[in-house]
Structure 1
Amino acid sequence: MEKEIIININGNPVPIEYSDGNTHIVGLMDKPFGAIKSGKKRVEIRANSDERPFDYSTVKASHTLRFINEESGESMDTRVMRVTHYPNVKVLFETEGTEKALSVPWSVDQGIELIHSFPGYKESIEKNGVYAIEIEAI
């Protein structure tokens, strides 16, 4: 198991950003967690970054992506259908569409601004690209 990150949820330490075999455990904010749970959001966008040193190139089709809601601590397992690497967020959104990759109905430009607002993402994406991980509920 690679190095994990410990976050505090409701006073409890919870490990995220690590793999246990073909199950990858990652943290997710409440709004996108709900959009995935409802089936509206079917593409998770991730980038390798120094802030959360998890290597998303290890995630493959048929693996399990377990999301931990960073607010409530609820977990949800999804099956990875496909992983596509893009050079930048603009190409990702132009190919995947914002409708299934964001938890809100935003334009490509608004989506780029949102993704680049995450700590370390803009610089990391410029250097390493970005992943679109298509998922389905298990």
Structure 2
Amino acid sequence: MSDTTTARQHELNLYRQYFDLVAAGRKTIEVRVRYPHLADMAAGDTIRFRIKNTDETCDVRVLRVTEYPDFEALLDGEGAANVNPTSAREQQLANIRGIYPPEKEALGALAIEIELLAA
């Protein structure tokens, strides 16, 4: 691949409730654990979100990636409404921690600011 840009494409699974918010352009911050395979994600990259075990996808452009020590700091720093406009902060924190156990959260949290790309 002789692409001169450093932008990469990532493929990540999303639960239906979050996928629908991204696809509608209402969710502008995606939350992830700072796994090694995401550590190099950067502005300009694209993400193809997929609902697991389906063909449904939507593509977004990464505008910014910000690291936080934990999910609470991320929600406070980014604003809970940007992460999930349909859920209160405390509920979101419970939801995120339901997906990621404490040992995963200890790796650090990534706030990935995204912009929906035209289908």
Equivalent in 98, 106, 112 of residue 117 of structure 1: 98
Aligned to 1:134: 113
Deviation at 1:98?
A: 0.9
**Aligned residues of 1:31 and 1:103 also touching (Cα < 8 A):** no
Equivalent in 66, 78, 91 of residue 60 of structure 2: 78
Deviations for 1:41-79, whole angstroms, at most 9, x for unmatched residues?
Answer: 000000145xxxx62112110000110112542111100
Give the number of the structure with larger relative contact order, counting CA–CA contacts within 8 Å between residues 6 or more apart: 2
Q: 1:62 to 1:95 in 2, by over 3 A?
A: same
Partners of 2:15 and 2:44 in 1: how far apart? 24
Aligned to 2:29: 43
Partners of 1:73 and 1:104 in 2: how far apart? 25
Select the structure that is richer in helix: 2
Q: Secondary structure at the match of 2:66?
A: strand
- Percentage of pairs with the same residue: 29
Q: Where does the alignment leave 5 or more consecutive residues of structure 1 unmatched?
A: 1-20
CA RMSD of aligned residues (A): 1.7
Q: 1:55 to 1:28 in 2, by over 3 A?
A: same
Kindly tell me the number of residue pairs found equivalent between the two proteins.
111
Q: Where does the alignment leave 5 or more consecutive residues of structure 2 unmatched?
A: 1-6
The residue type paired with residue 14 of structure 2 is L
Tell me the TM-score normalised to structure 1 length: 0.74
Q: 1:55 to 1:93 in 2, by over 3 A?
A: same
Deviations for 1:18-43, whole angstroms, at most 9, x for unmatched residues?
Answer: xxx70000111111000001111000
Deviations for 1:114-135, whole angstroms, at most 9, x for unmatched residues?
Answer: 11101x4421112x11000000
Partners of 2:58 and 2:72 in 1: how far apart? 28
Select the structure that is richer in strand: 1
Tell me the TM-score normalised to structure 2 length: 0.84
**Aligned residues of 1:32 and 1:103 also touching (Cα < 8 A):** no
Q: Secondary structure at the match of 2:31?
A: strand
